[in-house]
Chains A and B, each alone.
Chain A
Amino acid sequence: MNATKVVAPKMSGRTAASRRFSLGGLFKAREAGIVLALIALVAFTATQNSRFLSAQSIRDILLGTAILAVLAVGQATVMITRNIDLSVGSVLGLSAFAVGSLLQANQGMPVIVALIAGLVVGAACGLVNGVLVRFGQVPALVVTLGTLYAFRGAAYFWAGGEQINADELPGHFLRFGNSSILGIPWLVLIAVIVLIVAGVVLRNYRAGRELYAMGSSPQAAELAGIKVGRNTIAAFLVSGALAGIAGVLFAARFGTIDAAAGNGYELNVVAAAVVGGVAVFGGSGTVWGAGLGALLLTVIGSSLAVLDINQFWQQAIVGALILLAIGADRLVAVRVAKSLKKRDSHV
């Protein structure tokens, strides 16, 4: 919070270092760590119960990951700019209910229109967040904590305790939630498309690089002529829009929607991004990492079920993982800062 100035140089060191690492291999050290953890977890669970690797179980994991990954991509986009969006679970709920009621009234509505409707609802919420953060000049944490309440309340207002059941939704929409194309479930396909588009834009396009620059040092970005305010709004808009799409995917997958849809998701989403190596202090991380984080969390969830461990452990593990990830992040940052200092002293 008030440590902005102290942190800035460290973060610029981080970005330099991550560039060096990426030359070494396809994955940065952190993302390689998640992949290893994933492999170990899957291998161990599979030896305990062979059903864990059955087609149905893998399908369930992928479907679960798809929704979380779409949300995590949005969260990563916001976190890279040194902000946070805690309202995503509520936006998902609002969008799921909005699209559900639309489909209830218009049974013939094509899936693509539903997706666009969800995107619009989410983008509107994201715009509210972005404008409040930009012009209020208050931490995104507080603003999105407020809208977490407000959007959820709006969903409850609208739903009024009612629930939309699967039999009230058109069949083609429910089939979209469960069917595949070329063996890949639609939901997974959409998540992969979102990941690729966001990943490429953030990595290769100016708009994306500007977000990293803002996160590394807002002052420097401002001085470099980057329109920080506009980009902040854009990042929240993206996060909101993706949460809106996730709402549609949620509705299609589960078929039953009430105002509580996605309650508490924000924690898992932040966890997925943080575990995936997106720094809370901005300026580093990739959407690939966030996607892997989402996969890891989902796999942990189903492993616990398969291993017959109390499901309640899941949340505790999520918490421990967040602490572990930010701890590791800090460790890397300190080491990089030290090595940079050493290098500078030789020059």
Chain B
Amino acid sequence: MSDKGNRPAWLSRLASWDAAVIVITVVVLLIASGAVENFGSSRNFTFLLLDLLPIALIALPMTFVIVTGEIDLSVASTLGLTSAVMGDLWNRGLSIETIIPLCLVLGAVLGALNGFFVTVLKLPSLAVTIGTLALYRGLAFVVLGDSAVADFPRSYTSWVTGTIDGGPIPNVLIPLVVLAVVFGLALHATPVGRAVFAAGAGEQAARFAGIRVGRLKFWLYVVSGLIAGLAGVLWTLRYSSARADNGLGMELAVVAAVLLGGVSIFGGKGTLPGVLAGVVLLATLQNALRLQDVSNEALNVVTGVLLIISVLLPNIITKSRAAVQRRRKRSLASPTPESGALAGVK
């Protein structure tokens, strides 16, 4: 932005959408803990973190995928299929130590299938992942039907639902934080991250710059599937219930959170801290509203409206900003007659 000089640095940082989301999230957290009964309790805090865990996990690779200008709508179905397979394998008597790695591999394979369709066959990712959204969910039902498998070992389920030293922080926050740091550093401080942004900003230009865009995207889909598989395992252990419809419809919440966090659906733009703030904001709103006895269905309206706002608002901001800059340029240019004439020509 050319108007950097006129404003203090912190103000122009604040004006960026993802920074704004972080601020809004903090404000909403403060308001909620003040105004909503029980919101601030440590028990509720634990639940809030446990609820946002799968969305936050899946949002990490989704950020990468959307920044490259693609999308992965199959993540929630991957979660469901992983959960169903986990239940089926457990029914067949495999040990949980064997099942978990198998489920992670399954997630990666499902992601690789998406990646194959998108990068090798060069099909539009939207259509491909709508297809695999149906396919993976359907296979989940084929595997497990509408039954549930519940008797997972206590040692595992209680670790997932448990907290660090009995405090408010759930154990599973540890892997999430580790992964968030890894993904954040990868996106913002490594050549991989730069390649992701380059591919999203202009695929051909990135290719000319020597970035193997296809290979990059393929691996992003593999990682996306792998993390969705991990989310499936954790989901199953948390609720101690493997079901084919686990995580149904969650792809919308993930995409909503990522876009809310300031990632452009057109690719090439976004930050991981912004996305995490988006995840927390969405989870906080849902949690606070649920405590106010607002129904799940009404929460869907909130998610839907937020999703629309989060894609519309950045556009409106960019447009009005451009208009302001144009006006400023004109008023700066007008004092001298020559440049005024030039501006007039333009």
Contacts and interface: CB of A to CB of B under 8 A. Distances in A.
A153 B304 contact: yes
Contacts of B267: 1-2
Contacts, number: 156
A149 B252 contact: yes
Given A1-B69, A316-B137, A319-B136, 20 more contacts: A2-B202, A3-B203, A132-B308, A136-B311, A138-B311, A138-B312, A142-B255, A142-B259, A145-B256, A145-B307, A149-B304, A150-B301, A152-B300, A153-B297, A153-B302, A154-B301, A271-B134, A316-B142, A323-B135, A327-B121
A221 to B, nearest CB: 20
B134 A148 contact: no
A312 B137 CA distance: 9
Interface of B: 69-71, 117, 121-124, 126-128, 130-139, 141-142, 145, 200, 202-204, 244, 252, 255-256, 259, 265-268, 295, 297-308, 311-312, 315
Nearest to A84: B126
Q: Give me the 4 closest cross-chain CB pairs, A-B, nearest first.
A: A319-B135, A316-B138, A149-B304, A156-B297
Contacts of A322: 127, 130-131, 134-135
A1 B315 CA distance: 16
A311 to B, nearest CB: 9
Contacts of A318: 134-135, 138
A157 B301 contact: yes
B311 A330 contact: no
B312 A157 contact: no
A138 B265 contact: yes
B300 A149 contact: yes
Contact of A149 (B69, B71, B121, B301): B301
Nearest to B299: A153
Interface string A310-332: 10111111111011001100100
Interface residues of A, number: 47
Contacts of A138: 265, 311-312, 315
A237 B326 CA distance: 35
A317 B137 CA distance: 11
B60 to A, nearest CB: 20
Question: For the complex, would chain A's binding face be called helix, strand, loop or mixed by DSSP majority?
Answer: helix
Interface of A: 1-3, 6, 84, 132, 136-139, 141-143, 145-154, 156-157, 259, 267, 270-271, 274, 280-281, 310, 312-320, 322-323, 326-327, 330
27 contacts: A2-B267, A84-B126, A136-B311, A138-B312, A142-B259, A145-B255, A145-B256, A146-B306, A149-B305, A150-B300, A152-B300, A157-B297, A267-B134, A310-B145, A313-B138, A314-B138, A316-B135, A316-B137, A317-B138, A319-B131, A319-B135, A322-B127, A323-B128, A326-B124, A326-B131, A330-B121, A330-B122
